[in-house]
């Protein structure tokens, strides 16, 4: 088979592939990411590349205009290598992980609530799941030839009142040499039981006193991104954090695409190896940043949605997407991290957060635990809006939950020029009421390249309040502006002309984009309303809203309520906790009581399959307007709109 060299610019990376290989696969082999949100089906148009030299077969679809094709644009997923190639990846087709590790700037967002370590200590809950205990054993001689393990057990029982002890085989293998190396003065690493009647498991032994060096890793396995933290189990502080994009993205940006891919051939093995590779990369970076030795890590805790968890553990996710939507397990046992390919010492114990259902996973359970919602009396609406959207309503006594099929609009998917919250994404927007000219603010203050989720909400909310679009999301075609135009039968608003954009075309917002946003927000709002009605409550009964997920750090609360994504309540009642999944994973490392409470909490969470809940569709249809068909649900917005109409009328 003939082989060719493919060079990817501006990354300056090369790879040798066989003739007929797809460009998207070649990029994957070269370690170059190209957006491919449809999983390689050629229908999303996100994997645009420019063929600067060489020849490819295919790559042309209705997603590319004739003008684009003449410039050398092709879709990487449909392009087959026919010769040596130089391929340029335009900025809108690749992603930069730098933005994942930046803090959001202060805007009109919710109050931020972080994990209160001092409160944890005051409540007596700061009891890490893995502890270190130093012992000095009597040195054996002719009159004392007890076995090394027996000697260690007796010392632990006598000096530290440690009982119900069991050993990993790997520890028994280490004890003879380590004990003699340290003159029988050693530190044991003990994994505390989740159940109070369980056994204390000794998972490692080290020479000398290392009790002040005890660390854990917490990992959020997201559909889009993976975050990790190194936690000092003595002080409770986070020593290092890093996030990167989940390498599985190239096989689909949503969980359904990945489940479908996992069902094909070696798809499950491939997706498993990709997520393990990303996690290992994140672990390597945070260990290096923290300055600790990998041997000092005692435990690692994971939280992810049900599909991500099963792919991570290499468990077939096939039945998650098929009625009656059954996950493989709700609770997973603790296991040694090295068993699934994680690059950590062999004594490190891994624990995965349990799931509620196929679409309410461990990431949501972790957020409920980490936020403290499971202990509070206040009636709380917990929302995690990301690639998927999940909702939990309740308090310490009861909870109901559901997953809303919102689609990827909030992360740029399904939007003509949608993108993640990366440099060049429009995140804030306003319009001059007289000229209808826009003011765009982008992440990084560079030329606009597209629109991220928070920017999309702001654009639509602003245009609605300015009557540029109506409550159906349709443009007012009577306005005197060249910003509103019709292209191929679709009306759009030009946010940035090509000569001021960061890409080689105009940055636009189309009616199709707006419709996709309305559908997404409608699904989430109607999910909340359905859950409340199923338990005999209404929006007005809510005491607070907790928002989780990276998306929440950027959104403008007022704009979010304007489009009808959030219920219209006092902004002071809205709290943002950031990455709830990672917060919960960290909590699980810091306090063993979380591990003991989590199973009871999961058992209290009643899951509703919205597609099979009769009232959901009625609520959904009613929510497919800005902000809603029932204007009375949004009295503050109605008052503003009425006042604006009055001013215009005068």
**Residue 50 included in any domain:** yes
- Residues 36, 15, single domain; the answer is yes
Question: 98: pLDDT confidence band, cut at 50, 70 and 90?
Answer: low
Q: How much of the chain exceeds pLDDT 70, in percent?
A: 92
The yes-or-no verdict on residue 208 having pLDDT over 50 is yes
Identify whether residues 49 and 21 lie together within a single domain: yes
- Residue 211 near residue 133, CB atoms below 8 Å: yes
Do residues 27 and 8 touch, judged by C-beta distance below 8 A? yes
Q: End of a domain among 319, 336, 352?
A: 352
Give the residues across from 186 on adjacent strands: 135, 207
Neighbours of 43 (CB within 10 A): 14
Range of the domain at 189: 130-207
pLDDT tens for each residue of 467-515: 999 999 999 999 999 999 999 999 999 999 998 889 989 999 999 999 9
Q: Which CATH number belongs to the domain containing residue 62 in this structure?
A: 3.10.20.30
Q: Are residues 238 and 188 in the same domain?
A: no
Domain shared by 199 and 222, yes or no: no
Task: Check: CB of residue 565 under 8 Å from CB of residue 524.
Answer: yes
CATH number, position 158: 3.10.20.880
pLDDT in tens, 351-388: 999 999 999 999 999 999 999 899 999 999 999 987 67
Q: What is the pLDDT at residue 28?
A: 67
Q: What is the mean pLDDT of the segment spanning 237-249?
A: 93
**Domain final residue pick, 308, 334, 352:** 352
**Eight-class DSSP state of 14:** E
Q: Is the pLDDT of residue 106 over 70?
A: no
Indicate the number of domains in the chain.
3
Same domain, 311 and 338: yes
Q: Is residue 61 part of a domain?
A: yes
Q: Is residue 432 part of a domain?
A: no
State whether 222 and 348 are in the same domain: yes
Cβ pair 315, 331 in contact under 8 A: no
Helix (H), strand (E), coil (C) string for 606-645: EECCHHHCHHHHHHHHHCCCCCCCCHHHCHHHHHHHHHHH
Predicted confidence at residue 94, as pLDDT, reads 63
With 0-12 / 13-18 / 19 or more C-beta atoms within 10 angstroms meaning exposed / middle / buried, residue 98 is exposed
Do residues 60 and 21 share a domain?
Answer: yes
| Most confident of the ranges 31-40, 53-62, 408-417 | 53-62
pLDDT at 394: 96
Quick check: is 57 in a domain? yes
**Amino acid 104: pLDDT:** 40
Q: How many CB atoms lie within 10 A of CB 139?
A: 12
Read off the pLDDT of residues 564-584 as tens digits, 9 standing for 90 and up. Answer: 999 888 888 898 888 999 999
Label residue 62 by pLDDT band (50, 70, 90): confident
Surface-to-core class of residue 122, CB atoms within 10 Å of its CB (0-12 exposed, 13-18 middle, 19+ buried): exposed
What is the model's pLDDT at position 119? 73
**Boundary residue ending a domain (352, 381, 413):** 352
Q: Quick one: which of 544, 424, 435, 487 has its CA closest to 90?
A: 424
Label residue 105 by pLDDT band (50, 70, 90). very low
- pLDDT digit string, tens, across residues 424-442: 888 888 887 778 888 888 8
Which pLDDT value is given to residue 41? 60
Is the pLDDT at 332 greater than 70? The verdict is yes
Q: What is the side-by-side order of every strand in the sheet holding 215-221? A: 238-245, 225-232, 215-221, 297-304, 349-352, 335-336
Q: Which residues contact 564 (CB under 8 A, 6 or more apart)?
A: 521, 522, 525, 623, 625, 626, 627, 628, 634
What integer pLDDT is reported at residue 386 of this predicted model? 72
Q: What is the pLDDT of residue 70?
A: 86
pLDDT of residue 552: 62
Q: Per residue in 154-171, pLDDT tens?
A: 999 998 998 889 998 889
Calculate mean pLDDT across residues 198-217.
94
Q: What is the pLDDT of residue 543?
A: 94
Please indicate, yes or no, if residue 414 is contained in any of the structural domains: no
Interval 602-627: pLDDT, tens: 999 999 998 888 899 999 999 999 99
**252 and 331 part of one domain:** yes
* DSSP assignments along 367-383, one per residue: HHHHTTGGG--S-EEEE
Indicate whether 103 pLDDT > 60: no
Q: Is residue 398 part of a domain?
A: no
One domain, residues 274 and 323: yes
CB atoms within 10 A of CB 221: 30
Residue in 290, 283, 273 with CA at minimum distance from that of residue 348? 283
Whether 385 is covered by a domain: the verdict is: no
Same domain, 18 and 87: yes
Confidence band, pLDDT 50/70/90 cuts, at residue 37: very low
Q: Is the pLDDT of residue 551 over 70?
A: no
The DSSP code sequence of 263-330 is TSTTHHHHHHHHHHHHHHHHHHHHHHHHT--GGGEEEEEEEE-HHHHHHHTT---GGGGSTTT--S-S
Contact at 8 Å (CB) between 377 and 474? Answer: no
Over range 207-211, report the average pLDDT.
Answer: 95
- Tell me what the mean pLDDT of segment 290-316 comes to: 96
Query: Is residue 54 domain-shared with residue 162, that is, in the same domain?
Result: no
Q: What is the pLDDT of residue 318?
A: 95
Average pLDDT over the chain reads: 88
- Helix-helix angle 614-622:511-534, to 10 degrees: 140
C-alpha torsion sign, points 456, 461, 466, 470:
positive
- Indicate if 269 and 293 belong to the same structural domain: yes
Name the band, by pLDDT with cuts 50, 70 and 90, for residue 115: low
Is 60 exceeded by the pLDDT of residue 122? yes
| Band of pLDDT at residue 96, cut at 50, 70 and 90 | low
Categorize the per-residue pLDDT at 113 as very low, low, confident or very high, splitting at 50, 70 and 90: low
CATH number of the domain bearing residue 230: 3.30.420.480
Q: Is residue 202 part of a domain?
A: yes
């Amino acid at each position: 088979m003939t082989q060719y060299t493919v060079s990817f610019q501006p990354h300056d990376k090369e790879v040798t592939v066989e003739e007929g290989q797809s460009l998207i696969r070649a990029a994957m082999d070269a370690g170059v990411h190209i957006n491919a949100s449809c999983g390689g089906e050629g229908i999303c148009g996100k994997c645009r590349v420019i063929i600067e030299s060489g020849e490819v077969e295919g790559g042309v679809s209705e997603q590319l205009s004739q003008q684009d094709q003449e410039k050398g644009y092709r879709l990487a997923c449909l392009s087959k290598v026919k010769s040596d190639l130089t391929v340029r990846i335009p900025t809108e087709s690749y992603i930069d992980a730098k933005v994942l590790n930046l803090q959001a700037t202060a805007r009109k967002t919710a109050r931020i609530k972080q994990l209160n370590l001092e409160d944890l200590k005051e409540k007596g809950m700061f009891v890490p799941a893995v502890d270190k205990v130093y012992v000095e054993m009597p040195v054996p001689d002719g009159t004392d030839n007890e076995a090394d393990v027996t000697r260690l057990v007796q010392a632990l029982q006598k000096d530290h009142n440690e009982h119900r002890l069991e050993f990993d085989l790997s520890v028994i293998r280490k004890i003879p040499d380590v004990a003699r190396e340290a003159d029988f003065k050693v530190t044991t690493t003990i994994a505390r039981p989740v159940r109070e009647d369980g056994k204390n498991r000794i998972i490692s032994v080290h020479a000398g006193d290392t009790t002040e060096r005890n660390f854990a890793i917490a990992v959020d396995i997201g559909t889009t991104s993976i975050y990790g933290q190194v936690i000092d189990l003595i002080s409770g502080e986070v020593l290092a954090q890093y996030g990167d994009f989940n390498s599985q993205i190239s096989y689909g940006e949503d969980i359904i695409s990945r489940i479908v891919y996992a069902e094909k051939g070696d798809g499950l093995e491939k997706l498993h190896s990709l997520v393990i590779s990303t996690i290992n990369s994140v672990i390597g970076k945070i260990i290096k940043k923290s300055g600790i030795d990998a041997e000092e890590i005692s435990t690692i805790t994971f939280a992810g949605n049900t599909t991500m968890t099963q792919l991570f553990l290499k468990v077939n996710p096939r039945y998650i997407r098929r009625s009656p939507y059954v996950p493989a397990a709700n609770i997973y046992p603790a296991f040694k991290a090295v068993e699934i390919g994680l690059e950590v010492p062999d004594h490190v114990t891994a624990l995965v957060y349990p799931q509620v259902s196929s679409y309410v996973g461990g990431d949501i359970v972790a957020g409920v635990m980490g936020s403290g919602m499971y202990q509070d009396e206040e009636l709380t609406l917990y929302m995690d809006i990301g690639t998927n959207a999940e909702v939990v309503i309740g308090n310490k006594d009861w909870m109901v939950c559901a997953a809303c099929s919102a689609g990827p609009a909030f992360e740029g998917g399904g939007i003509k020029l949608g993108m993640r919250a990366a440099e060049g994404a429009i995140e804030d927007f306003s319009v001059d009421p007289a000229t209808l000219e826009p003011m765009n603010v982008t992440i990084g203050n560079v030329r606009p390249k597209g629109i991220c989720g928070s920017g999309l909400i702001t654009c639509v909310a602003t245009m609605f309040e300015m009557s540029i679009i109506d409550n159906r999301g349709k443009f007012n075609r009577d306005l005197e502006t060249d910003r509103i135009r019709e292209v191929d039968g679709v009306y759009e608003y030009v946010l940035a002309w090509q000569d001021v954009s960061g890409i080689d075309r105009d940055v636009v917002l189309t009616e199709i984009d707006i419709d996709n946003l309305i559908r997404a927000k409608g699904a989430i709002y109607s999910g909340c309303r359905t859950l409340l009605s199923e338990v005999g409550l209404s929006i007005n009964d809510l005491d607070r809203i907790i928002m989780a997920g990276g998306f929440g750090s950027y959104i403008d609360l007022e704009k979010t309520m304007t489009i009808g994504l959030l219920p219209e309540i006092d902004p002071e009642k809205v709290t943002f906790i950031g990455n709830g999944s990672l917060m919960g994973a960290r909590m699980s490392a810091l306090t063993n009581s979380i591990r003991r409470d989590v199973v009871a909490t999961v058992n209290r969470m009643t899951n509703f399959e919205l597609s099979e809940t009769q009232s959901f569709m009625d609520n959904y249809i009613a929510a497919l307007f800005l902000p809603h068909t029932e204007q009375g649900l949004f009295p503050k917005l109605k008052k503003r709109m009425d006042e604006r109409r009055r001013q215009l009328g005068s």
